[in-house]
């Protein structure tokens, strides 16, 4: 019988061990060899995302509440995941609109950080477009935060009014006028009651014009 040398006998057992060790060792890659195969992530996806950076939502099938009142979707001309903008039943000046959080929040102090950011970014965007559309030179942003501040609808909302020279005899009179309109809102917003002011169709036509500004 052929006798194997001690060295050969040892190799019979060492070779499988080396093979298994080779399989269990993670492969090594060169950064230079794999760089071309990596998928590049768009830079805009690496930025921190927030709800107020989301694109406007579709308004066709949306429902909107303003305090206890249901708002006709045709009167809403701009909407995000957290806020919406609607035309006014009785505007003080051309372009007088409201911006509200979607969530029914009574006080400005009760808004979340995302809602606060989204609300003001929406107001900024809406104000910029309406100032240009109505060929005005300034904007009034007003919040009545709580009943003693003149708020009648218990839902945070920002009044946005495009302004121009001479629209009010005394500039600060606009705040008294806003107070008056706030008091009228509770009598005018109920959709089940007959409207003696602008019709839904009139307001929808205005909203349609404003909606085009954000396409």
- Please choose, from the candidates 148, 128, 147, the residue with its C-alpha nearest in 3D space to the C-alpha of residue 85: 128
Instruction: Read off φ and ψ for residue 138, nearest 5 degrees.
Output: -150, 170
Which residues have a Cβ under 8 Å from the Cβ of 131 and sit 6 or more positions away?
A: 95, 137, 138, 139, 162
Determine which one of 96, 155, 157, 159 is catalytic: 157
Strand partners, 141: 160
Active site residue 157: yes
Closest listed residue to residue 106, CA positions, set 73, 148, 141: 148
Place of tokens 């005005």: 136
Q: List active site positions.
A: 157
């Amino acid at each position: 019988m052929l006798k194997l040398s001690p060295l050969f006998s040892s190799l019979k057992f060492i070779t499988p061990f080396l093979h298994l060790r080779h399989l269990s060792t993670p492969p090594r890659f060169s950064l230079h060899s794999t760089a071309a195969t990596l998928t590049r992530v768009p830079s805009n996806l690496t930025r921190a995302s927030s709800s107020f950076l989301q694109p406007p939502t579709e308004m066709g099938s949306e429902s909107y509440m303003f305090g206890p009142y249901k708002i006709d979707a045709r009167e809403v001309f701009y909407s995000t995941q957290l806020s919406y903008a609607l035309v006014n039943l009785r505007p003080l000046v051309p372009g007088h609109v409201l911006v509200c959080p979607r969530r029914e929040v009574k006080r400005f102090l009760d808004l979340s950080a995302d809602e606060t950011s989204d609300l003001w970014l929406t107001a900024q965007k809406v104000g910029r477009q309406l100032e240009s559309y109505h060929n005005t030179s300034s904007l009034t942003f007003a919040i009545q935060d709580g009943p003693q501040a003149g708020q009648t609808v218990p839902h945070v909302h920002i009044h946005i009014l495009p302004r121009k020279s001479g629209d009010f005899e005394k500039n600060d009179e606009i705040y008294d006028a806003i107070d008056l309109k706030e008091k009228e809102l509770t009598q005018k917003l109920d959709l089940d009651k007959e409207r003696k002011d602008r019709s839904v169709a009139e307001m929808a036509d205005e909203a349609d014009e404003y909606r085009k500004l954000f396409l």
